[in-house]
Structure 1
Amino acid sequence: MSENLVFPDARPRSELRPKGTSFPGLVGVELRRLWWRRLAKAALVAVVIFTAASVYNAYTASAPERLAQQLDEYRHMVEQTPRMIEDCEKQQAQERDRSGDPSIDFGCDQQKAPTLDDMGLVLPLADTISVSITKIGALLLAFVSLLLGASLVGAEFSTGSMGTWLTFQPRRLRVAASKLVAAALGGAAVAAVGLVLANLGARMVSTVNRPGDDLQLPAPPALEDPLAVLGLRVVAIAVGAGLIGACLGLLLRHTAATIGVVLAFAVVVEGIAVQSFFQGRLQRWSVLHNLEAFVEKGSTYFAETCTASGCQYGPQTLTYTHGWVFLLCVVAVVVLAGLVSFRRRDVA
């Protein structure tokens, strides 16, 4: 009798596993939670509004009427340049005669008429406009991604649902990893939306503001990288920001606390300490400067450098490699701290 009632289930283990317990299932649950949060909708609206404002600024800056006005001002400046050089040489000669020092140099030989490229008077091409909008919006996309990641985790601690969720899924690292993946994918989605809108808007502006034959403008300088490569760097920044936001949520356990810490870090550390202490040499380890170095393929800051002959204040260079290595280390440290905290601390 017992042999008829008790028998092994011949189905594969994957079919016996309850639905939603696989890691992709956990990630899907977290993505649905992220999508249905009101903050996610507000973030998308903010990205759309910012991109629309940037496209409008590009439209007004590249309008044919404005370009024609700037071209007239440029021609007037070119006409005045010989007179300015002549006046400079006269003042230089007078000062030499007055002081008796023939070595006085006002730099008249270095004065020359600017080029159209120097004045920013170039053809409004779609790729150039898109690059400009993308570089300006990279920081906003990163902040929005960080905010989404922090909200995804912090809200569960605030409402107490994290403890309930761990009752059904007791493996903490698995739960935390699913939230980090969802935050990273959310950041990538936000960046993708911003990049697509910026590209479409730039192409619309270049089509509408195509100058006539009467405006003889040079083509802009060739792009250092393809537009897609720049887009990938911006997406990588958004993914890293989403991971940092989620891990700060694991550490601080409240969305408002995470936002407060990020803003305080931006003002106190990035805005004051990095700029003021050690004659600016801390800027090499600034998150913002390294973000700029990563996006722009290099960055410059001013700091004091000292040698055996003395100290002087001048420009310093941050390389692209330094930028991405530094940012990768920051993300790794924050992620590790968040996972360790979530693994060891009590949820209640």
Structure 2
Amino acid sequence: MSAPQGTVRAADARTATGTGRAASGPARGRLVRVEARRFRYRAATRWLALLAVVAALVVVASVFAAARPPSERAIADAEQQLAFAQDDWAENGEQYVTECREGEALAQETDPGADWACDDMEPRLDAYLPLQPTLADSGPGWVSGVTTFLILLAFASGVTFVTAEIGSGALGTWLTFVPRRGRVYASKVTVAAAGVLVPTAAALALTVGGAWVAASVHDAVGELTAVWWTDLGWQVLRALAAAAALGAVGAALGFLLRSAAGALGLGIGWLLLVDGVLAGLLPALSPWTVRSSLRAWLEGGLTYWVSVPCAPLDGVPQAGMCTAERTVSMLHGGLLLGVVTVVLVSLGALAFRRGDVD
């Protein structure tokens, strides 16, 4: 059973003010330990951590279902489609190859590296079978899929950690024991950032390990090289860094807006709606949106398309608009996220220092 709330608060006060056993440690370290204990004991934090584990299990279950080999019915359907394709190929194959080579030659006028694989057009059975993803090919995508949910949970943890104390009046009481607001703010933001690392890391480890087991059962692991594991390791580390940043941002918005509904609505709504709609209407602004920067950081880069005037062909200007590929680098995304985090945490500190608590 948990200790009574009054007992916990009294112990926290003794620890933070140096009247208990922790008096020998630095004041800031004592505050962080107190806040870490509060973060760990919060029911909302535990439920959000449980949701992180559930999300990982859902991904593992989807991997298990997707990695299954084709059923006998699927193989029979594929063989039937292959028979029809082979009959058509016997009749029209030469014409298809000729048309392919003509189109390839035309494409090479503007793109010398164009390769349409015209010598590899004959129908094969694997082209008609359902795709069986492997861990080697799809693993990073599976990790990326669960990461988006995990960082939203980290953001929610940071928000509720702060707004619950503001709403209950506990923060005002706490300031009577520890009146230095700067230290209180720093300790809460630090714990909000660090506290989400354990459940996020556990969920990511469960995702990777569970996906490996699920793929192994269906012989769909693929070739996992040292480079593959290194890249996946860096991806996981970037996910942990993003979770910590979102936890700190959630705490900062909690201090700014003083309402869980307002902070969650603003943060998640901005990521999913404002950035999404803005990037959809004006793709050129994608590098400067939080959502795109977050994806670029997590996925090691992001590709998007913009409309540009068509380039002249053989010196002749072309009418209309064409599409061009653009990228957002991982470094760009990380730097923008870092700037946003620093700005919001600074604004939260300013609001807490100068605003009323009750």
| TM-score normalised by length of structure 2 | 0.75
Aligned residues: 318
Deviations 1:205-228 (A, max 9, x none): 1332226xxxxx974786284332
SS in 1 for 2:179: coil
Compare 42-51 and 157-166 and name the one that shifted more.
42-51
Shift of 1:239: 0.4
Alignment correspondent of 2:58: 53
1:287 to 287, 290, 305: 290
Alignment correspondent of 1:303: 306
Query: Structure 1 residues 283, 80: CA separation in 2 closer, same or farther (over 3 Å shift)?
Result: farther
* Corresponding letter in the other structure for 2:298: V
* Corresponding letter in the other structure for 1:319: S
Deviations 1:217-247 (A, max 9, x none): 9747862843322211110010011011000
Q: Distance in 2 between matches of 1:38 and 1:67?
A: 48
Shift of 1:68: 10
Q: Distance in 1 between matches of 2:88 and 2:164?
A: 63
Query: Structure 1 residues 339, 79: CA separation in 2 closer, same or farther (over 3 Å shift)?
Result: farther
Shift of 1:82: 4.7
Q: Distance in 1 between matches of 2:236 and 2:171?
A: 35
SS in 1 for 2:326: strand
Shift of 1:129: 5.7
Compare 127-136 and 201-210 and name the one that shifted more.
127-136
Shift of 1:274: 2.6
Shift of 1:148: 0.2
Q: Distance in 1 between matches of 2:62 and 2:247?
A: 28
> Do residues 328 (structure 1) and 333 (structure 2) align?
no
* Corresponding letter in the other structure for 1:133: W
Asked if 1 retains the 8 angstrom alpha-carbon contact of 2:287 and 2:333, the reply is no
Query: Structure 1 residues 85, 159: CA separation in 2 closer, same or farther (over 3 Å shift)?
Result: farther
Alignment correspondent of 1:136: 145
> Do residues 193 (structure 1) and 198 (structure 2) align?
no
* Corresponding letter in the other structure for 2:341: V
Asked if 2 retains the 8 angstrom alpha-carbon contact of 1:145 and 1:242, the reply is yes
Q: Which runs of 5+ in 1 are unaligned?
A: 1-15, 93-102, 212-216
| Two-structure CA RMSD over aligned residues (Å) | 4.0
Alignment correspondent of 2:19: 18
After the TM superposition, which segments of 4 or more aligned residues of structure 1 sit over 6 Å from their partners? 89-92, 114-117, 307-310
SS in 1 for 2:357: coil
Q: Distance in 1 between matches of 2:350 and 2:215?
A: 50
Q: Distance in 2 between matches of 1:306 and 1:179?
A: 51
Query: Structure 1 residues 70, 253: CA separation in 2 closer, same or farther (over 3 Å shift)?
Result: farther
Alignment correspondent of 1:274: 279
Q: Distance in 1 between matches of 2:228 and 2:197?
A: 24
Q: Distance in 2 between matches of 1:276 and 1:203?
A: 39
| TM-score normalised by length of structure 1 | 0.77
Alignment correspondent of 1:202: 211
> Do residues 246 (structure 1) and 247 (structure 2) align?
no
Shift of 1:304: 2.5
Q: Distance in 1 between matches of 2:177 and 2:231?
A: 47
Q: Distance in 1 between matches of 2:299 and 2:290?
A: 14
Q: Which runs of 5+ in 2 are unaligned?
A: 1-16, 101-105, 109-113, 312-316
